Amino acid sequence: MPTVRMTVNGRAVSGDVEARTLLVHFLRNQLGLTGTHVGCDTSQCGACVVHLDGTSIKSCTLLAVQAEGAALTTIEGLAQGDELHPMQAAFREHHGLQCGYCTPGMVMSAIDLVKNNPDPSEQQIREGLEGNICRCTGYHNIVKAVKAGAQAMNGQAVRG
């Protein structure tokens, strides 16, 4: 069984996996990071989005062995203790989540979206979230949250 090593949320981890093990299952079952979800099997819903070396990817469409040596960030790695990442805080403030199932992937995608486009319009946000399906919110408040989250992230970047 191959052994994989990677950095997850700043921590070096390793594990023995079957070659066929998907990254999302390695995260969930072997590392216990169950915040990353699985909502489909055709790489469309985006519940499994994590950041791999700084960009968003669907962890259900990557083998764990392919992440060898990579630096991953999952939803668990965003908040600093009790202090939410600005995008997480914006989702709470604007009621951008209901059942919470799509939320981790949605937040991870939103952060990547803002990294690539710091001041997205409503239309750009809607198109930028094409890879994340939410069944609860009708996206109305997600769009508001991402817009506010973008502003907060920019503010933080200026401060930082």
Partner 1 sequence: MHNFNYHRPSNVADAVKALGGAGDGKIIAGGMTLVPTLKQRLAAPSDLVDLNGIADLSGIKSEGDGITIGAMTRHAEVAASSAVKSAIPALAELAELIGDRQVRNRGTIGGSLANNDPAADYPAAVLGLGATIRTNKREIAADDFFRGLFETALEEGEIITAVHFPKPEAAAYRKFAQPASRFALIGVLVAKTKGGIRVAVTGGGNGVFRAKEIESALSANFTPAAAKGVKLDPADFNGDLHGTPEYRAALVSTMAARAVEAC
Partner 2 sequence: MTTETGIGAAVKRREDFRFLTGRGTYTDDINRPHQAYGYILRSPYAAAQIAAIDTSKAKAAPGVIAVLTGADYDKGGLPCGWQIHSKDGSPMIEPAHPPLCKDQVRHVGDQVALVVAETYAEAKDAAELIEVDYKELPAIISTAKAGEPGAPQVWPEAKNNVCFDWHIGDKSATDAAFAKAHHVTKIDLVNQRLIPNAMEPRSAVGDYDRATGDYTLYTTSQNPHVIRLLMGAFVLQIPEHKLRVVAPDVGGGFGSKIFHYAEEALVTWASGKVGRPIKWTAERSEAFISDAQGRDHVSHAELALDKDGRFLGLRVNTIANMGAYLSTFAPCVPTYLHATLLAGVYTTPAIYAEVKAVFTHTVPVDAYRGAGRPEATYLLERLVAKAAREMQMDQVEIRRRNFIPKDAFPYQTPVALQYDSGDYEATLDLALEMSKWSDFENRRAEAAKRGKLRGIGISTYLEACGIAPSAVVGSLGARAGLYESGSIRVHPTGSVTVFTGTHSHGQGHETTFAQLVSDGLGIPLENVEVVHGDTNKIPFGMGTYGSRSLSVGGSALVKAMDKIIAKATKIAAHLMEAAAGDVEFKNGNFTVKGTDKSIPFGQVALTAYVPHNYPITELEPGLEETAFYDPLNFTYPGGTHICEVEIDPETGVTQVVNFTAVDDVGRVINPMIVEGQVHGGLAQGIGQALLERCVYDEDSGQLLTGSYMDYTMPRADDLPSFQVATHATMCTHNPIGAKGVGEVGAIGSPPAVINAVIDALAPLGVEDISMPATPLKVWQAIQSAPKKMTAA
Point out which residues bind partner 2 (CB under 8 A): 18, 20, 28-29, 33-42, 44-45, 47, 74-76, 78-79, 84, 88, 91-93, 95, 97-104, 107, 122-123, 125-127, 129-130, 132-143
User: Least distance to partner 2 from the beta carbon of 91, Å?
Assistant: 6
Phi-psi region of 115 (alpha: psi -120 to 50; beta: other; left: phi over 0): alpha
User: Least distance to partner 1 from the beta carbon of 71, Å?
Assistant: 14
- C-beta separation of 49 from 87 below 8 A: no
Return the bridge partners of 71, or none.
7
Helical ranges in 8-159 per DSSP H? 23-25, 86-93, 103-116, 122-128, 140-159
In the stretch 31-60, what mask flags binding to partner 1 with x, by CB under 8 A?
Answer: ----------xxxx-x--x-----xxxx-x
User: Least distance to partner 2 from the beta carbon of 110, Å?
Assistant: 11
Cα separations in angstroms, 148 against 1, 91, 121, 152: 45, 9, 11, 6
- Contacts of residues 55-62 at CB distance under 8 Å and 24 or more positions apart, as own/partner, are 55/112, 56/108, 56/109, 56/111, 56/112, 58/131, 59/22, 59/23, 59/24, 59/27, 60/22, 60/23, 60/24, 61/22, 62/22, 62/23
- Per partner kind, with CB cut-offs from 5 to 8 A, the member of partner 2, partner 1, none near residue 33 is partner 2
Interface residues for partner 1 in 55-114 (CB under 8 A)? 55-58, 60-63, 65-66, 68, 109, 112-113
User: Least distance to partner 2 from the beta carbon of 34, Å?
Assistant: 4
- Per partner kind, with CB cut-offs from 5 to 8 A, the member of partner 2, partner 1, none near residue 66 is partner 1
- Contact set with partner 1 (CB under 8 A): 2, 18-20, 22, 41-44, 46, 49, 55-58, 60-63, 65-66, 68, 109, 112-113, 116, 128, 130-132
